[in-house]
Amino acid sequence: MQDKKTIVIAGGGTSGWLAAAALGKLFGKVYNVCVVESEAIGRIGVGEATIPPLRTFHRLLGIDELDLIKSIQGTYKLGIEFTNWARKGDNYFHSFGVTGKDCWACDFQHFWVSGRKKGIADDFGAYSPELMAARSGKMWAYQEHGLNFAYHLDAGLYAEYLKRHSLSHGVRWIEGIFKRVNISPETGEITSLTMENGEEVSGDLFLDCTGFSARLIDGALNTPYLPYGHYLPCDSAVAVQSEKYGEPRSYTQAIAHDFGWQWRIPLQHRTGNGLVYCSRYVSDDEAMNTLLSNLESDPIAEPKAFKYKTGRRLRGWTKNCVAVGLAAGFLEPVESTSIHLAMSAILRLMKLLPQGDLTQTAIDEYNKQFGEEMDRVRNFIILHYHATEREDSPFWRYCKNMEIPDALRHRIQLFRDTGAIPLQEKELFQVDSWTQVLIGQRVMPQSYHPIVDQMSENELNQFLGSLKVSVQQKVAQMPSHQQFIDRHCKADSM
């Protein structure tokens, strides 16, 4: 039998240990997997909100969800509340799950638009169990009639949890800092990493999980970066942890300011806070002061500030190196996609790994899928900024009037004209997500699908009414978010 090939993961953190956990568990008999990470290098540690597909990935890894939530001081997340985005004072919700009920010809928003025109429909969110549960402070999962959810997590505890999981499945951890990436002069591929103590860590495939520094994919292999800054102008962030504030909300908050937006992420033991902003429109000091003056509770740590460039690598896989996480690109956290995109990269890699030597066809397919995914998620995030009526500050005037990708412009106009949202294959955000954000940003359909008029007004009224009552009854039976945590996954006191 051939000797096992080696996959070297450069860098730990969430991306590195997520990759190690997956490769160790699922490919441990085929590959040697090792992680090169120094505990002396701090983690950014602000990716603390997730989206539902991560739960499926955890099941693939054999992770017990209740044990995970307890271990990472987690809370449940049913969506994101957006405040001040379309107009100052506006408030809308992007929830997980399915809203209403569709039919073969059209999605639920067409029935809702008809109902609004006839004066018989409630707010769009009234037909979403996840949204109404979040607004009511309720939670229900794991059993019949459960909600579709993700979670908020402590990023440091999550990385440590994944690390323990990885080591239990045979992953080797090499503690230390590497000082040099060695390249073959014949092939241009990475052959090894030289550690500060002189040790050589050789491998056949290398994963770059070194964050924004991208020491392999960029520093060693000079893979170009495709900037998104024209569309996503925010380039800075400051984050700070604060004391726990009341019972934790079952959703993330995204509160727009004159030059960016602020997040609040509730955990069992504290709150994660941050402010994403554009340095062209505000000084770092003013941004810091804005965040600190809008905390709900006292800070418990020193704020962390960092700069970034939105965008992605032109190729996520170059030679024998795959970038995962921030090394591959960054789209900013407004829709909590950072951990998901790392997970997606790992899954894509595992699906395309050849049995023998690396093939250019597999690399090309990976890069094609990588580029398409990043660009589609980028477009959804641009929507939040561009579809605004705000003209009260230079930042929002820029966002409202900036050029946007043709595909996004077409989708917005098609929804405004017809209410339709035709999706391409494998899009991350589905019809309900697009509909909730478009309506929340005051992009309202002018018409709806003609099949809705097969219903009489009385039939439509009964249809909408029964859906609303069903949601209300379902939510009324649920315990509070805090009660659900206390009953199923309360963390040990720290």
Concerning whether 77 is annotated as a catalytic residue, the answer is yes
Looking at residue 47, its pLDDT comes to: 61
CA distances from 215 to 136, 193, 222, 237, 239 (A): 46, 11, 9, 22, 24
DSSP state for residue 426 in the 8-state scheme: T
> Fold match between 5-48+154-229+313-376 and 236-307?
no
The model's pTM is 0.96
Residues 190 and 183 sit within 8 Å (Cβ to Cβ):
yes
**Cα–Cα distance for residue pair 79/131, rounded to 1 Å:** 7
CB 10 within 8 A of CB 193: yes
Question: Over its length of 494 residues, how does the chain's per-residue pLDDT go in tens digits?
Answer: 458 999 999 999 999 999 999 999 999 999 999 999 987 665 555 669 999 999 999 999 999 999 999 999 999 999 999 999 999 999 999 999 999 998 989 999 999 999 999 999 999 999 999 999 999 999 998 766 789 999 999 999 999 999 999 999 999 999 999 999 999 999 999 999 999 999 999 999 999 999 999 999 999 999 999 999 999 999 999 999 999 999 999 999 999 999 999 999 999 999 999 999 999 999 999 999 999 999 999 999 999 999 999 999 999 999 999 999 999 999 999 999 999 999 999 999 999 998 888 999 999 999 999 999 999 999 999 999 999 999 999 999 999 999 999 999 999 999 999 999 999 888 999 999 999 999 999 999 999 999 999 999 999 999 999 999 999 999 999 999 999 999 999 998 65
Cβ proximity of 388 and 396 under 8 Å: yes
Output the CATH code of domain 236-307.
3.30.70
- The CATH architecture one would assign to domain 5-48+154-229+313-376 is 3-Layer(bba) Sandwich (3.50)
pLDDT at 146: 84
Question: The sheet that has 5-10: what strands, in order across it?
Answer: 172-175, 31-37, 5-10, 205-208, 321-323, 317-318
For 40, the 3-state DSSP assignment is coil
Q: What is the pLDDT of residue 2?
A: 58
229 in Cβ contact with 307 (< 8 Å): no
Residue spans per domain, the chain: 5-48+154-229+313-376, 236-307
Is-contact 305 236, C-beta < 8 A? yes
- The single residue of 77, 138, 163, 319 carrying the catalytic annotation is 77
